[in-house]
Amino acid sequence: MIKRKSIYFSMFILSIILTVFVSLKDLLQHKTVNYGLLERQFIIDGIICSIIFLLLFLFHKISLCNETKILQPKTCLFEVTLFLILILSLSIPSGLIFDSGQNELDKWSIGIYSANSSEPFTFSGNNIQNPVLTSIDVTDVPAKFVADPFLIHQNNKYFLFFEVMNGKTNQGDIGLATSKDGYNWSYNQIVLDEPFHLSYPYVFKWRNDYYMIPESGAVKEVRLYKANNFPYNWSFVKTLIKGSDFVDNSIFYYNNTWWLYTSVNSSSDLLLYYSDNLLGPWVEHPKSPIVHGDMNISRSGGNVVVLNDTVVRYAQDDHPYYGNQVWALEVTKISKESYEEKKVSDIPAVKGYDNWNTRGMHQISPVKYNGSTWIASVDGY
């Protein structure tokens, strides 16, 4: 009995220590305190473990179970019941506690965040009514969810391009929403629909024209589109790269060269291509894959930001589970022969802790707001 009592007490103390550590680790590291899916799961499980092991310890402490009674049916039933409660509690995902039970794919929505400083490194949704767009707002197709938003500011108006999962065709289309202030949005329509799945509509401007590179890994191509009457009438221009199921293609122009990040689906590598001309030919970088085997930063999570001589790319964190947060990384060296980058901070650029995105976020698209700060479109579920 003494040995069992000591084990229960040790487990009680360990549960308390781990629960307190997870609860306070952001605060102790001088970070913004926010709890994602895993943190909430761990805290709930830690509290349950603490209570149950405390009850077991007290049960033996007050000698309700002694040497002669330890095998009595009522005594054993009490311990077995507590252990069953413990096992059942640990097996229930926190998503069932914090969510209504819908499929996670039905719950991706789009929000607007603002920068926590004058630089586009960390963002939050404080004092913003989010989400600003959900599947319910889509009126021209039966939408399952909306995700992968890209934000454009043009002529004092904001344009949002994003994936709409079409419930009728069970594939992604590209939708459009507009706003006058960047915070209040109106859905417009589907602006690009192909016979295959589209998502991650990376929209960018070049020489007064707008282009889009949506994810089209279903046809094993990186495809370029052009707006004939922005933000509408998108037409196919050319296939830039082909041969693999490329996902989350992110393009930018820097030092008189075009650069393109991409990943192959179900891979933990980030590939890099370059070209002297937007239309190609595109060449894979000699250092590619520039990220190998690191699912925390190996997949793009938004448009690349070029600030004078500073290049910032965003990466979705897919470990320990898909799309749990987004990191900002600064490209410290890039040429046709070399490539180096580093995390801007040990604080993620965005991490879901609001009611609508507590399970995860995997996209950010920042633009300058009023010339002095930044806002960004984000997604989450």
Domain boundaries, the chain: 2-98, 104-380
The pLDDT value recorded for residue 33 is 47
Where residue 170 falls (left for φ over 0; alpha for ψ -120 to 50; beta otherwise) is left
What distance in Å separates the CA atoms of residue 73 and residue 54, rounded to the nearest whole number?
21
Consecutive sets of 10 residues in the chain, 381 residues long: mean pLDDT of each? 72 80 63 58 80 77 54 59 69 49 64 94 92 97 97 96 97 98 97 98 97 97 98 98 97 98 91 98 98 95 94 94 93 98 94 82 94 93 91
Model pLDDT, residue 258:
98
Three-class SS of the chain: CHHHHHHHHHHHHHHHHHHHHHHHHHHHCCCCCCCCHHHHHHHHHHHHHHHHHHHHHHHHHCCCCCCCCCCCHHHHHHHHHHHHHHHHHHHCCCHHHHCCCCCHHHCCEEEEEEECCCCCCCEECCCCCCCCECHHHCCCCCEEEEEEEEEEEECCEEEEEEEEEECCCCEEEEEEEEECCCCCCEEEEEEECCCCCCEEEEEEEECCEEEEEEEEHHHCEEEEEEEEECCEEEEEEEEEEECCCEEEEEEEEECCEEEEEEEECCCCEEEEEEECCCCCCCEECCCCCCEECCCCCCEECECCEEECCEEEEEEEECCCCCCCEEEEEEEEEECCCCEEEEECCCCCCEECCCCCCCCCCCCEEEEEECCCEEEEEEEEC
Residue 320's pLDDT is 84
CA distances from 260 to 53, 75, 334 (A): 54, 66, 12
Predicted local confidence at residue 71, as pLDDT: 45
Q: How do beta strands 339-343 and 325-334 pair?
A: antiparallel
pLDDT of residue 30: 47
> 323-361 burial string, b = 16+ CB within 10 Å, else e?
bbbbbbbbbeebeeeebebebbeebbbbbbbbebbbbbb
**Structure confidence at residue 63 (pLDDT):** 54
Fold annotation for 104-380: Tachylectin-2; Chain A (2.115.10)
In the chain, the amino acid numbered 172 is G
Indicate the residue type of 359.
Answer: R
